[in-house]
Structure 1
Amino acid sequence: MCFISFFFLFMFSFFFFFLGLFFIMNSLIIMIEWEIISLNSNMMVMTILFDWISLFFMSFVLLISSVVIMYSKSYMSSEMNLNRFIILVLLFVLSMMLLIISPNMISILLGWDGLGLISYCLVIYYQNIKSYNAGMLTALSNRIGDVFILMVIAWMMNYGSWNYIFYLEFMKIDIYMKYIMFLIVIAAMTKSAQIPFSSWLPAAMAAPTPVSALVHSSTLVTAGVYLLIRFNNLLVDSMIFKILLMISGMTMFMSGMAANFEFDLKKIIALSTLSQLGLMMSILSMGYPELAFFHLMTHATFKALLFMCAGVLIHLMNDMQDIRFMGGINNFIPLTSLCLNISNLALCGIPFLAGFYSKDLILEMSCLSNLNLMVFFLYYMSTGLTMSYTMRLLFYLMINDLNLISVYNLFDEDYIMLKSMFILLIMSVISGSFLSWLIFFKPYMIYLSLNMKLMIIYVSILGIMLGYLISNMKIYSLNKSLNFYKIFMFFSNMWFMPSLSTFGLNYYYLVFSQKMIKNIDFGWNELFGAQGLYFNLVYYSKMNYFFQMNNIKIFLFMFVLWMIIYYLMFIMF
């Protein structure tokens, strides 16, 4: 089943890519309406939108999902129900396809809700307490977005149709569209894990690594960005986008700081995904949807590769995810190390790899835009932090000594995994250049001063130095009473956001429910409710039984008692 799924998804990926090329060359947009049922002039219509954005995005999603399914054949080989896992992944991809090609809010909701539901099934796949908690946090965080989409559907009843694509241009000044704008942005923020909804994204790492490679590169987390790209005409130059620019900048900065203090390999990569999502959201907020889409697709290739390399490493390390136990892996598994290094360098934006073309363009456009100092600082600081945590990761994985058990054999001979990783390795090198040629017919002409042009290099060098220092400093053995430890805890816990979104919300409800159980259920309800009634009935039935069983004895006793009472009353009166 793995091979069949891989083959068909791979073929469809190529088909959609060349179809997208045809559409972009001829500036085509095709809208198909399929009337499912018609009853008394009420029509139930499924609408499908094909343009170069949807076709290219579908091509990349299908390519990554095909590679991930092939990779799963080896990674999940010990799984008893491998077919069930593959079916879940295919359903996940199908939900994403439905979301991509829908210009209709109802079918968007189907895809949107399908992503949330199936992501829950995949996050709890390993079935332990940690997975259940992570799955519930993921599902409930995404549920907020589902509710806002439902509210958008309710508001759009004012217009007589749910095909939002018709209303984006000429309904901008309508007050109801302002409500819809707000609801759409909040829904996109929940799906793309912007502050304050960020805590579910690292928690979703409880899923199997192939799922993480799919979810955190091109499907679940990018759904919010894609929705805002579609609604961009409505939202551009609005106050909501200015607020989103600030929030996404803070998300970038926060996740970059947290990744520098994290030791879990998968969580470091998840936090880097969060940082890149903040970058996409921020450039989208500035009114450059093509740039956001360009970075969305280039990021998908090297982030999926990064997760797959991490999966191989975790697989070989006896399911160990702590980077402090790893080290010197380039001596044992050179091909996986090659893929890991290239994907990491692409993430940093090293020239002529995939990430460079989009990140460099985004940062230069931010220099050219009319931004305040705070947003400018967040952009460049986050870029430096990306270099920092990448350097730290490479230091722990490549340069340090192996800290696992002494007699241990790492081997790099799982050819199914390697073949699937090499497909994405090629994409991580070439996708940036050919997408920049395709999407931007006329190149952006960016005129900056020399120092502004070299600003990215300055920040990158500072980030590399910071990463080296963090890797070498023994800050973790410092006395816990130091203020530094408090700062370390603050940054490593994502500004305490997981605590606020789970423990902070749950604590008072749990304490209140404990008091309710103690005082009501086990207290007054026990006394006056079912148990109290039961004990009273038992007591009276025992008394009744006692009288029935001892009736002659009781009769004689009562007779004597009455005679005594009668005699006493006779004497007294």
Structure 2
Amino acid sequence: MIWLVSMYLSSMLFLVLGSVLNLGLSLLCLEKGLSWFIEWEIMSLNSSSIVMTLILDWMSFMFLGFVMFISSMVLFYSGSYMSGDMNVNRFMYLVLAFVLSMAFLIISPNMISILLGWDGLGLVSYVLVIYYQNEKSANAGMLTALSNRIGDVAILLAIAVFSGSGGWNFLFYVDNMPKSDSSWLVCFLIVLAAMTKSAQIPFSAWLPAAMAAPTPVSALVHSSTLVTAGVYLLIRFSPALESSNSRLMLLLLSSLTMFMAGLGANFEYDLKKIIALSTLSQLGVMMSILCLGYSQLAFFHLLAHALFKALLFMCAGSVIHSVKDYQDIRMMGGLVYHMPLTSMCMNLANLALCGTPFLAGFYSKDMILEVAFMSPINLVIFILYALATGLTVCYTMRLVYYTLSGSFNLGNLYSISDESSIMTSPMIFLSVGAIAGGASLSWLIFPCPYMICMSFMFKTLALSVSVIGGAIGYVLNMSAVSYELNSIKLYNETVFSGSMWFMPYLSTRGVSEKFLMLGELYQKVGDNGWSEYYGGQGLYFVLTKSSGYLQVLQDNSMKLYMLSFLLWVIVIFFSMI
């Protein structure tokens, strides 16, 4: 136990010191305009050098600092949350491996070295999703691994296309890439890889399924590591996307993703899946504003979202831990009287998610909406933006009603309180980030103030749809708890909206099962069939028979000599005739 305490405390201390150092270096780079590019040549192949490359600029330092800060809070939080687990040491090492993979991804501007972080994230995420060894976790882990494998193959194909450029340091090519012939293919492959990692339609099913992992992992994955890897890669590739047709495709899909996730969260009853769908919605926001050409704004929202989303998952984990591992929000209620500190932090994170003025989410989300409304988007994208904003507040108020302010629905023998200071201390630190993080980041990333002039209707549109969505989310759910189940009257619409538009079915039995059956048929007919008959086994049979004949020839048999002499005489006789 002494070693265990020192394990999570020393890990937290190491990551906090790394976070402070990286944030300090980020401020230095912002002030002085510095960036470092470090390169080691591993080998040279056909005049192309395979190198290990690092890019150290203000963006990588800042993102790395946020990842380390949130990871340190998650590890400290895990010291209490995972204390009853038998393999808690393995869990700590897996989380540290996850952070290391993300660090490799952040500081790699090279397509080959970026695979260290990209594949490391995929592998460690699979191991963490199947951490609780049951059938549900195994299915969720397989869906996560197979979905992310599509992105890995896209990265490998992009490396192959890049080999014609003479190198794989993509930062040197993104500015001139629109002028090259293969730019459309590279952009398509990079967008495909980012869509799988950041779970955009049609690869959205794995993100709620990954909630089978322990809650501290969810707090880390859904805030600053795995799901943001695709957004970060596109931020680095943003100059090449400006004139690409892939950008228009991604804009539509990301807008549909944030609408679909917001709609599905209003029909979900699993606490962790509701927060996972809110992450999916915010990823759609980041991707859509990135497609409009505002990469720094997407990075700003990525960092601000990481702070309050990690806080929201930690509060959800504290609630789940206290109510004896129930995750159904209908089995909670009235927690504000029993867990006041957790309820305060959870409300703070919820308000930041909704974009409440002067919290972290307001500075990035409000600016994103205003910039999007000023951009040359069509009516469909505009309506999806407005509806997704209203749905965000709607499911947030629904969550507040069912868990915090509604009637107490638990049994009589529950002891619910904020007793564990190890779990509440990181929540307090992240609450400070959820309050002051947005303003601080806006001053650092956008030091020059810009005046966004819009009409009164457009300026107040975000606030109006938020207030309407919040009122609908709270009032409708107050009236829904009655003897009449109104959702039964619209059963088909409810099932369609609450099932992420049947995407989990399409991603498993609908598509994956067909491909797996096709692979099984190919294995029977090809690998174990004709290819075996004419390939390895057939060649083995021919060589075995041939060696047998050679062995007979080399046995010095008298019968063989007599037979060969007789054949020789017959041949001579017929030749003389």
Report the counterpart of residue 555 of structure 2 in structure 1: none
Matched residue SS, 2:83: coil
| Counterpart-to-counterpart distance in 1, 2:85 and 2:442 | 41
Q: Is it true that 1:82 corresponds to 2:88 in the alignment?
A: yes
**1:264–1:448 Cα change, 3 Å:** same
| Counterpart-to-counterpart distance in 2, 1:510 and 1:104 | 33
Matched residue SS, 2:142: helix
Q: What letter matches 1:33 in structure 2?
A: E
| Counterpart-to-counterpart distance in 2, 1:243 and 1:431 | 32
Q: Offset at 1:226? A: 0.2
Matched residue SS, 1:105: coil
Report the counterpart of residue 341 of structure 1 in structure 2: 347
Q: Is it true that 1:496 corresponds to 2:502 in the alignment?
A: yes
Matched residue SS, 1:422: helix
Report the counterpart of residue 530 of structure 1 in structure 2: none
Q: Is it true that 1:120 corresponds to 2:100 in the alignment?
A: no
Q: 148, 152, 174: which one pairs with 1:146?
A: 152
Q: Deviations over 1:342-363 (max 9, x none)?
A: 0000000000000000000000
Q: Write the mapping of 1:416-565 to structure 2, written as runs, cut at 5 A.
A: 416-474=422-480, 484-508=490-514
Q: Is it true that 1:399 corresponds to 2:405 in the alignment?
A: yes
List structure 1 runs of 4+ shifted beyond 4 angstroms.
36-44, 475-483, 506-517
Q: 286, 299, 324: which one pairs with 1:318?
A: 324
Q: Write the mapping of 1:60-209 to structure 2, written as runs, cut at 5 A.
A: 60-209=66-215
**1:40–1:354 Cα change, 3 Å:** closer
Report the counterpart of residue 359 of structure 1 in structure 2: 365
Structure 1 alignment gaps of length 5 or more:
518-573
Report the counterpart of residue 535 of structure 1 in structure 2: none
Report the counterpart of residue 569 of structure 1 in structure 2: none
Is the CA contact 2:48–2:166 (under 8 Å) kept in the aligned structure 1? Answer: no
Q: What letter matches 2:147 in structure 1?
A: S
| Counterpart-to-counterpart distance in 1, 2:503 and 2:139 | 15
Q: Offset at 1:216? A: 0.4
Is the CA contact 1:9–1:65 (under 8 Å) kept in the aligned structure 2? Answer: yes
Q: Offset at 1:474? A: 3.0
Q: 356, 360, 373: which one pairs with 2:379?
A: 373
| Counterpart-to-counterpart distance in 1, 2:148 and 2:207 | 11
| Counterpart-to-counterpart distance in 2, 1:513 and 1:35 | 39
Q: What letter matches 2:114 in structure 1?
A: I
| Counterpart-to-counterpart distance in 1, 2:375 and 2:178 | 24
Q: What letter matches 1:216 in structure 2?
A: H
| Counterpart-to-counterpart distance in 2, 1:479 and 1:400 | 18
**1:447–1:499 Cα change, 3 Å:** same
Report the counterpart of residue 287 of structure 1 in structure 2: 293
**1:48–1:400 Cα change, 3 Å:** same
Q: 50, 59, 82: which one pairs with 2:56?
A: 50
| Counterpart-to-counterpart distance in 2, 1:514 and 1:182 | 30
Is the CA contact 1:478–1:485 (under 8 Å) kept in the aligned structure 2? Answer: no
Is the CA contact 2:334–2:408 (under 8 Å) kept in the aligned structure 1? Answer: yes
Alpha-carbon RMSD: 2.2
| Counterpart-to-counterpart distance in 2, 1:162 and 1:215 | 28
Q: What letter matches 1:261 in structure 2?
A: F
| Counterpart-to-counterpart distance in 1, 2:280 and 2:482 | 25
Matched residue SS, 1:106: coil
Is the CA contact 1:237–1:287 (under 8 Å) kept in the aligned structure 2? Answer: no
| Counterpart-to-counterpart distance in 2, 1:307 and 1:334 | 16
| Counterpart-to-counterpart distance in 2, 1:199 and 1:506 | 12
| Counterpart-to-counterpart distance in 2, 1:516 and 1:177 | 34
Q: Is it true that 1:410 corresponds to 2:424 in the alignment?
A: no
Q: Offset at 1:413? A: 1.1
Q: Deviations over 1:421-471 (max 9, x none)?
A: 111111111010010000002122200111111111110111012202331
**1:277–1:406 Cα change, 3 Å:** same
Report the counterpart of residue 238 of structure 2 in structure 1: 232
Q: 213, 217, 223: which one pairs with 1:211?
A: 217
Report the counterpart of residue 529 of structure 2 in structure 1: none
Matched residue SS, 1:175: coil
| Counterpart-to-counterpart distance in 2, 1:512 and 1:161 | 37
Q: Deviations over 1:101-155 (max 9, x none)?
A: 0010011111101000000000000000000000000000000000000000010
| Counterpart-to-counterpart distance in 2, 1:74 and 1:457 | 39
Report the counterpart of residue 270 of structure 1 in structure 2: 276
Larger radius of gyration between Structure 1 and Structure 2: 1
Q: Deviations over 1:458-508 (max 9, x none)?
A: 101110122023312438976799660110000100001001111212555
Is the CA contact 1:302–1:346 (under 8 Å) kept in the aligned structure 2? Answer: yes
Q: Is it true that 1:17 corresponds to 2:49 in the alignment?
A: no
Number of residue equivalences: 518
Q: What letter matches 2:416 in structure 1?
A: L
Is the CA contact 2:178–2:244 (under 8 Å) kept in the aligned structure 1? Answer: no
Q: What letter matches 2:414 in structure 1?
A: Y
Matched residue SS, 1:31: strand
Is the CA contact 2:401–2:474 (under 8 Å) kept in the aligned structure 1? Answer: yes
| Counterpart-to-counterpart distance in 1, 2:60 and 2:302 | 13
**1:39–1:234 Cα change, 3 Å:** closer
Q: Offset at 1:198? A: 0.1
Q: What letter matches 1:25 in structure 2?
A: E
Is the CA contact 2:254–2:288 (under 8 Å) kept in the aligned structure 1? Answer: yes
Q: What letter matches 2:319 in structure 1?
A: L
Q: What letter matches 1:184 in structure 2?
A: I
**1:488–1:40 Cα change, 3 Å:** closer
| Counterpart-to-counterpart distance in 1, 2:484 and 2:498 | 16
Q: Write the mapping of 1:243-254 to structure 2, written as runs, cut at 5 A.
A: 243-254=249-260
**1:241–1:467 Cα change, 3 Å:** same
Matched residue SS, 1:172: helix
**1:446–1:41 Cα change, 3 Å:** closer
Q: Deviations over 1:183-215 (max 9, x none)?
A: 000000000000000000000000000000000
Q: Offset at 1:512? A: 8.3
| Counterpart-to-counterpart distance in 2, 1:377 and 1:292 | 20
More displaced 10-residue stretch of structure 1: 454-463 or 346-355: 454-463
Report the counterpart of residue 527 of structure 1 in structure 2: none
Matched residue SS, 1:271: helix
Is the CA contact 1:75–1:417 (under 8 Å) kept in the aligned structure 2? Answer: yes
Structure 2 alignment gaps of length 5 or more:
1-6, 524-577
More displaced 10-residue stretch of structure 1: 459-468 or 66-75: 459-468
Matched residue SS, 1:47: strand
TM-score after normalising by structure 1:
0.87
More displaced 10-residue stretch of structure 1: 254-263 or 401-410: 401-410
More displaced 10-residue stretch of structure 1: 139-148 or 443-452: 443-452
| Counterpart-to-counterpart distance in 1, 2:135 and 2:342 | 31
Q: Offset at 1:399? A: 1.7
Is the CA contact 2:47–2:166 (under 8 Å) kept in the aligned structure 1? Answer: no
Q: What letter matches 2:12 in structure 1?
A: F
